[in-house]
Amino acid sequence: MSFYNDFSYEQLRDLNVFLVRMEERTMHLHHDMEVGIVLEGTTLIEVSGTQHRLWRGDLYLVNPMEPHRFLSSGCGDGLLLIAQISPQLVARIFPGAMNLRYGEGTSLRPVFPQSSAQYARMAEMLMELGMVFFARNVGYEFRCLGCIGEIYALLHTHLPVTVLRGEDDLPQRERADRLLSIIAYIEENYQRKLLLREIAQREHLSLTYLSHFFKDMLGLSFQEYLRERRFEHACHLVETTDQRILEISLVCGFSDVRYLTKLFDEHFGCTPTAYRQKKRVSRRKKPVSLGCIQSFFSPEDSVRLLALHRARCGERVQQARMDWRIGLSAAGGEEHVVHNAL
């Protein structure tokens, strides 16, 4: 299940690629492997309860069905190129792909330092995948598959790999599928009063079990997650409509507009009205997406921006390698990793 359905393409149903300016994104999970690169700025990603700060040029990886979210970094937003690749796409050639899990954490910086050849190749393949995917010229599907094969080969070569046995993976998949079902139900019913008891009855689970299940899977309580989703929808309506703040509060499931105002003050240091005025200015410069504080770019704008970053990438990777060699020589052979190649 993808949470970016508005930006999916029918030609390759097992692949989604996005260029997105990310500030925040609620906790979510999907059956796809997610690999991305920070092209500008910085971002903070939390995976299975552990936070990782990603800087310009950093690569990251999220395994299938790993709960993750993007948090405000406190340093503005980051421009990310993200590829969500379904293992089913690779399993047609390599049947074991469905059970592959790659180690070494979320940030790939330790294994793909920006002065290394494998980093340059991975960054190139991700940007090539993005360019081809967004341009969608004749035969682009074959070129996408070539990039995906190279990405998997690089991960398989440089990261520790765990191959789940069928009996090991089944409980994880069942739990993940149940969580996806619960999240979908919340998304359909967040506008009204929604209690954990209702979901427990629907799923035929005890309240205690469901409460622990939710916390274990997402790192958030049910109420915390529900509040996040309601607030994200409220932010979207405040930014993109002229509805009164009271109306938005009610339609998003908040019974008291003062509580919504308090959340805006905690998150943005301003009232909902001030937030609307601020965002109305920035909306003229970039598109907006429901689901949190994130802005997707059109395929045309994505091609243009990726071409610019791709040209810069080659120059900066070469400079990073030169700086790395100078640092290595000055240290008498001791390795110094240089970041921010992009």
The answer to whether residues 138 and 79 belong to one domain is: yes
Domain carrying residue 216: 179-282
pLDDT digits 0-9 by tens, 79-120: 999 999 998 888 877 877 888 888 877 889 888 988 888 998
Q: Any bridge partners for residue 70, and if so which? A: 25, 45
Same domain assignment for residues 137 and 224: no
Clarify whether residues 80 and 153 are in a common domain. Answer: yes
Task: Say if 305 falls within a structural domain.
Answer: yes
* 340 assigned to some structural domain: no
In a domain, residue 64? The reply is yes
Is 155 inside a domain boundary? yes
User: Same domain for 127 and 202?
Assistant: no
Residue 54 · residue 69 · CB < 8 Å: no
Residue 338 has pLDDT above 50, yes or no: no
What is the rounded CA–CA span in Å between residue 156 and residue 231? Answer: 39
Shared domain check, 197 and 272: yes
Whether 210 and 106 share a structural domain: no
- For the stretch 35-49, pLDDT in tens is 999 999 999 998 877
Taking Cα atoms as reference points, which of 251, 275, 247 lies closest to residue 263? 275
Q: Which tens digit of pLDDT belongs to each residue from 159-187?
A: 998 887 655 555 777 888 898 899 999 99
User: Residues 151, 22: one domain?
Assistant: yes
Q: Are residues 25 and 152 in the same domain?
A: yes
Q: What is the DSSP string of 267-335?
A: HHSS-HHHHHHHHHHHTTTS--BTTTTEEE--HHHHHHHHHHHHHHHHHHHHHHHHHHHHHHHHTTS--
Domain count, the chain: 2
Q: Judge if 130 and 203 occupy the same domain.
A: no
Question: Does residue 288 lie within any of the structural domains?
Answer: no
Same domain, 89 and 201: no
- What residues pair up with 201 in beta bridges, in sequence order? none
Q: Is the residue at 303 inside a domain?
A: yes
CB–CB of 183/118 below 8 Å? no
CATH code, domain with 191: 1.10.10.60
Predicted pLDDT at 76: 61
User: Which has more confidence, 64 or 27?
Assistant: 64
